Amino acid sequence: DGGITQSPKYLFRKEGQNVTLSCEQNLNHDAMYWYRQDPGQGLRLIYYSQIVNDFQKGDIAEGYSVSREKKESFPLTVTSAQKNPTAFYLCASSSGTDGYTFGSGTRLTVV
């Protein structure tokens, strides 16, 4: 079955530590996206990539970094520069202008 997989489901980060969230899709979609969701809030765009080896900043890119070396993969690194990283992170992919397919999310908590 085609889909989009995020891992891990839960992640704990210590102060000053970088962590990487995984996002893999087998839908052959060109575009991939990372969103952040805070409790009771909507989704805010962190980074997006329309094609391999290219990506653009979204609305809240500070403290995050991404890479797009393969079509199937779009990992997100939450760096120590992100001062308030506790949130629910959602990865999505799309083809053209139709609907997005979302992963099941990674819940990141600072301990």
Partner 1 sequence: SQQGEEDPQALSIQEGENATMNCSYKTSINNLQWYRQNSGRGLVHLILIRSNEREKHSGRLRVTLDTSKKSSSLLITASRAADTASYFCATRGAQKLVFGQGTRLTINP
Name the residues that contact partner 1, by CB under 8 A.
Answer: 6, 33, 35, 40-45, 48, 50, 56, 58-59, 88, 90, 92, 97-105, 107
Nearer to partner 1, 33 or 72 (CB): 33
Nearer to partner 1, 6 or 82 (CB): 6
Q: How far apart are CA 27 and CA 19, in angstroms?
A: 26
Residue 102, helix vs strand vs coil: strand
Least Å distance between CB 11 and partner 1?
14
> Which uninterrupted H or E stretch holds 78?
strand 76-78
Nearer to partner 1, 85 or 103 (CB): 103
Least Å distance between CB 27 and partner 1?
13
Nearer to partner 1, 11 or 80 (CB): 11
DSSP code per residue over 13-63: E-TT--EEEEEEE-S--SEEEEEEE-TT--EEEEEEEEETTEEEE-TT-TT
Q: How far apart are CA 68 and CA 50, in angstroms?
A: 10
Least Å distance between CB 42 and partner 1?
4
Least Å distance between CB 98 and partner 1?
6
